[in-house]
Amino acid sequence: MITVKYFARLRERLGSQEQLAFEPGLTLGGLRDHLIQRGGAYAQALDRAQFLRCARNQQMAEEDQALSDGDEVAFFPPVTGG
């Protein structure tokens, strides 16, 4: 199982977090694609046309990183200060 957390506008559309079972070898990018395939709010919020950041176990990560059991994944849009 992995924990997927959503931040900023993603949290507003998808909720704060969820637990998911995953296939061995799944990458962050593969997870994003899997979530997009759910359709609806997931397809809109995580659409590939939008630039999103992701983290694995509270470290910024690229989408080609493989996931492991117990990982925490976070998706969030770029943030600017004001």
Cα 29 to Cα 42: distance, rounded to the nearest angstrom: 14
pLDDT value at position 80? 54
Whether the CB-CB separation of 26 and 68 falls below 8 Å is answered with no
pLDDT value at position 79? 73
Question: Any idea how long the chain is?
Answer: 82
pLDDT value at position 82? 53
| 17-75 confidence digits (pLDDT tens) | 999 998 888 999 999 999 999 999 999 999 999 899 999 999 999 999 999 999 999 99
| 35-46 confidence digits (pLDDT tens) | 999 999 999 999
pLDDT value at position 81? 56
